[in-house]
Chains A and B, each alone.
Chain A
Amino acid sequence: MHEASIAESIVDFLLNYEKDNSFLIKVITLEIGKFSGVNIDSLNFCLDVVTNTLKRDWSFNFVERPLVLRCNDCLFEFESEGFYLLCKKCNGYNLSTISGFEMNILELEGEEIEGKDCPILASGK
């Protein structure tokens, strides 16, 4: 939930990154854990809404991470579809999360801009 405020916070980060690094972003890859509580479709929609006033040609890619757990007793690693957290091998409870809760900007693709004279970067819009 809160995809709208997350979308705003992503856009703020991207605008600042472009300005601070003289870098024109083209493609943004976001990593979202399946159990992070963030809905990818909703986030994509919110990003469209927030970016449509900006003169940016940003393209968003989403990588969804499954819930992967490791049993600390028998060291078995497995994927789980739900929150019923029992080791699939030894039925133990003592599990650690390897993935599934991520909410990250993973990677940016773009090009470096010469100097600070680029009007888009200078305006921050």
Chain B
Amino acid sequence: MKVKIVQSLLQGNDVIANSLREEFKRKGIFVFNIISSPGAGKTTLLENFAKIIIGRLKVGVIVGDIEDSVDAQRIESSGVKTIQLNTKGACHLDAGMIKTALIDFDVDNLDLLIIENVGNLVCPSDFDLGEDMKIVVLSTTEGDDKPKKYPGTFFKADAVIINKIDLLDFTNFSLEKAKNDIKTINYKAKIFEISAVKPETLYDFANFILDKVRWKKSLVF
């Protein structure tokens, strides 16, 4: 006797991710999952992004690293509640870890939840965390060939931030090639060009996120 199932192999993770998604929707919390190689600039970006939006939004951050809490300390010094998750060897965050971390937040008083994933350009994009948006950071010092070499991650990105544009003159990075390659892998991804250490380059991205937060809140009756 044959039985048709169509059951996802990542069902364990996806069930939790979907229940997180429902909770975020009920409470009007906009969530983005930020993914990149180690050293692309995720933490510096979030430190300075937090300083820009701190007065305007209630923000929480979950940071994933294999070990240590230096990233969470850095972001928290910008005035935003930050929880550090140490995966002790796992190369990505999963929905179960996010569910555990959420216990430490006052989710009834949160507009924006930022999840800084473990530095890794391969695995994190495969694991749904219940987020609204996946944002991939690519820095100019990594090379403009990374989208083509890691297409799976760029394919799933809703936005791509090209960071360290202030170092372009010191690299062989072609903005045109990188943007073109990103577009051929993922036509719909919004691309931002920034230098995370220069806050004035972050305003477009900040406005983009503010619009998303407003949209998410508008869905709650």
Residue ranges of A at the interface with B (Cβ–Cβ < 8 Å) = 1-2, 6, 9-10, 12-13, 23, 30-31, 35, 37-38, 82-86, 93-95, 103-112
**Cross-chain contact B9 with A9 (CB below 8 angstroms):** yes
Residues on the B chain within 8 Å of A35, using CB: 152
**Cross-chain contact B6 with A37 (CB below 8 angstroms):** no
Q: Count of B residues near A, CB < 8 Å?
A: 24
Interface of A: prevailing SS: mixed
Q: Of B17-25, B130-138, B179-187, B196-204, which binds chain A? A: B179-187
The answer to whether the Cβ of B218 comes within 8 Å of any Cβ in the partner chain is no
Contact with A along B114-145 (1 / 0, CB 8 A): 00000000110010000000000000000000
The answer to whether the Cβ of B100 comes within 8 Å of any Cβ in the partner chain is no
**Cross-chain contact B7 with A109 (CB below 8 angstroms):** no
**Cross-chain contact B152 with A37 (CB below 8 angstroms):** yes
Question: From residue B117, how far is it (CB to closest CB) to chain A in Å?
Answer: 15
Residue ranges of B at the interface with A (Cβ–Cβ < 8 Å) = 1-12, 122-123, 126, 148, 151-152, 155, 183-187
Bound Cα distance A107, B4 (Å): 4
Residues on the A chain within 8 Å of B155, using CB: 83, 85
Residues on the B chain within 8 Å of A37, using CB: 126, 152
Question: From residue A90, how far is it (CB to closest CB) to chain B in Å?
Answer: 13
**Cross-chain contact A85 with B185 (CB below 8 angstroms):** yes
